[in-house]
Amino acid sequence: MIVVLSKGISPHDKEIVGGFLRDRGFSVREQALGDDQFISASGKGSADIGELTLLPGVERVAATSKPYELASRETRAEDTIVTVGGYDSIPAVSVGGSRISIIAGPCAVESREQILETAYRVRESGAVILRGGAFKPRTSPYAFQGLGMKGLEFMKAAGETCGMPIVTEVVSPELADQMKDLTDMFQIGARNMQNFELLKRVGAIGKPVLLKRGPSATIEEWLLSAEYLLASGTRDVVLCERGIRTFETYTRNTLDISAIPVVKGLSHLPVIVDPSHAVGIRAKVTPAALAAVAAGADGLTVEVHPRPDEALSDGPQSLYPEQFERLLRDIEALAPVVGKELLRTPLPHQHSGRKEGIVFLSSAAEPVPSPGAVSAPVAFSGESGAFAELALMRAFGEEVPRLSCPGFGAVFDAVLDGSAAAGVVPVENSLAGSIHENYDLFLRYPDVAIVGELKLRIVHCLIGDEKAELDSIRVVRSHPQGFIQCREFLDKHPEWHPEPYYNTAAAVASILRESGDRTRVAAIAGEAAATAHGLKVLKTGIETNPLNYTRFVIITRRVGYDISGRMGCDTFRRQETGRAPVPPSLGSDKPNKASLVFSVSDEPGSLFACLKILSERGINLSKLESRPIQGQPWRYLFYVDVSIPDKPELFDAAMDELKTKSEDFHSLGIYRASL
């Protein structure tokens, strides 16, 4: 039994609750999980739940049906997000929630040079936590056992150099105390999943723990091992599925993909997957990794080695750095389909490293601020549950403070006057096209620039009162874009009268304010809006095309802007290096996309001359759209998205020449494109 205590409970009231339980035959242990304080009551005692609930300082009592009480979703309904790092030059990395976190590195630390080279390579590809074994439990006593504490020191130094927290395996309770100051996260390996003395000791230290599933362990045994860690004192446990032993011999283990959704239904703890140990064959790691992401994994831990053929441990299953980079690009493309975003953290503002002719260079001119350091909120248009809010959380994390605005213009206002550190606005939908209102706002607010983007899959639902049915509905409310994206579904119900709203979530909230019969009113919005306002999803997936995505951009106040409205290439760079704040999942030291606006003279070939400038320098044009210039009939502005080539000087030269061939040239921003 778990007794959830009220926030701010006094020591006196806490002692009363503990004494009540002890007097009735329970063993009592105080525990904290996230921001919640618990008293865990175990043993053969018996108590009246109603009487216990009435005690001062008791918020609720969770009598779980599972033997793993602290790990159970019955005790904590919301997902736990584990934070690793977050000190000095090491950024905080979140595991869980709406972002996919990638852990990567070699199986074993072999030398200072090897771990540093690997760290650089995986960091530049997008890994956010560095893995590596200093102590290696091996089946054969003659196999490489690791470098021990010296190897851990090498790994710690590599993590600090590359701006990555580290995770490494601990193999005995005695070593846990020696290692605690050198690692950011302990890993409990598959062989030690049921080493209960090790679990208790590591749990008591209180650091985050990555708990691998044993090769023959059931899911319940796995979760009970997590319970040992939570009951011993740590708040942060990440579960890792790494394959189980079956009769199959074509792979090293059998990756239990079904365990991911099963465990996420049973427990609030984040679940990641180790495809390297699951399959044991380099060529099979990528498909297994993508399958894990599709099944809902919160992250991956992948073995990467710069020269796998020379690896002292697990070379056949280690990816080459080039393969790892391709894998992350595939994950970045897949993530929006499953409602997630690949987590990226700011690269450190420092140095280049060199190993055998390979140059590893962080080209960030200035360190990018972390959202955790932002005191002002991030603005979005709409009410709680809006798609823009989902995009905001996907980019900045669930914990970021948020500012709800009544419209898109209010988001720009909040960014401009400083009441919001950044804003999130939609600019394009894959079915309905550009959202022209926001493109026009960029011209009205020249001090605001795009600093990032992400694509969100839009799944529309028909939402109504608990007692509503499809036959009772007569009025449907939504944003006009919602009506356009669900046209085929609405055409099947000509008896419904559409009422446009400025935001889909606001349309859902309006049902609660309805003075008449609520069963006659429904709204089109996302499932999150129904949850936020306590309403029922009558039908899900009503969009005309399931390939329905909206492109959102992150906006901030522009730095280094020429108020005349014309932007030179030097100012481009000042805008980017001075921006604040860019979310880790979107920010990058290598912007690869620019959004531009310009007009051309009214003469033959003027637009062609501008596009020819881009073509001759190999700059890809990904969007070209015209919009009428207000107050100037039959004259148009051209909105253009272009890719930035690997050689920035080509882009600089193109922008210089484009200014001479165009009129009213503006930059909406330079940023990292999402796939």
Among residues 391, 395, 372, which one has the least CA distance to residue 380? 391
CA distance 130 to 122: 8
3-state secondary structure of 216: coil
Contact, 509 vs 428, CB < 8 A?
no
Contact, 280 vs 313, CB < 8 A?
no
Burial category of 141 from C-beta neighbours within 10 Å (exposed 0-12, middle 13-18, buried 19 and up): exposed
381: enclosing H helix or E strand = strand 378-381
3-state secondary structure of 251: coil
> Among the options 387, 550, 556, 651, which is catalytic?
550
440 contact partners, CB below 8 Å, separation of at least 6: 627
How many C-beta atoms lie closer than 10 Å to residue 579's C-beta?
Answer: 26
* Catalytic residue flag (residue 550): yes
Burial category of 139 from C-beta neighbours within 10 Å (exposed 0-12, middle 13-18, buried 19 and up): exposed
Respond yes or no on whether the N-terminal peptide bond of residue 446 is cis (omega within 30° of 0): no
Contact, 164 vs 119, CB < 8 A?
yes
Burial category of 248 from C-beta neighbours within 10 Å (exposed 0-12, middle 13-18, buried 19 and up): exposed
Query: What single-letter amino acid sits at 458?
Result: I
CA distance 636 to 601: 10
CA distance 144 to 133: 11
Contact, 26 vs 69, CB < 8 A?
no
Contact, 360 vs 322, CB < 8 A?
no
62: enclosing H helix or E strand = strand 58-62
Contact, 664 vs 633, CB < 8 A?
no
Query: What single-letter amino acid sits at 116?
Result: L
Contact, 192 vs 216, CB < 8 A?
no
State how far Cα 147 lies from the chain centre.
Answer: 34
Using left for φ > 0, alpha for ψ between -120 and 50, and beta otherwise, residue 194 falls in alpha
3-state secondary structure of 50: helix
The two structure tokens encoding residue 591: 């912007």
Contact, 454 vs 391, CB < 8 A?
yes
In sign, the C-alpha dihedral spanning 213, 218, 219, 225 is negative
Number of H helices, E strands in the chain: 21, 32
> CA angle at residue 269 from 263 to 271, to 5 degrees?
60
> Among the options 360, 387, 408, 552, which is catalytic?
552
DSSP states of 4-23 = EEPTT--HHHHHHHHHHHHH
**The residue to which tokens 């108590």 are assigned:** 47
Report, in this order, helix, strand and coil percent for the chain, each rounded to 5: 35, 25, 40
CA distance 401 to 373: 11
Residues classed as catalytic = 550, 552
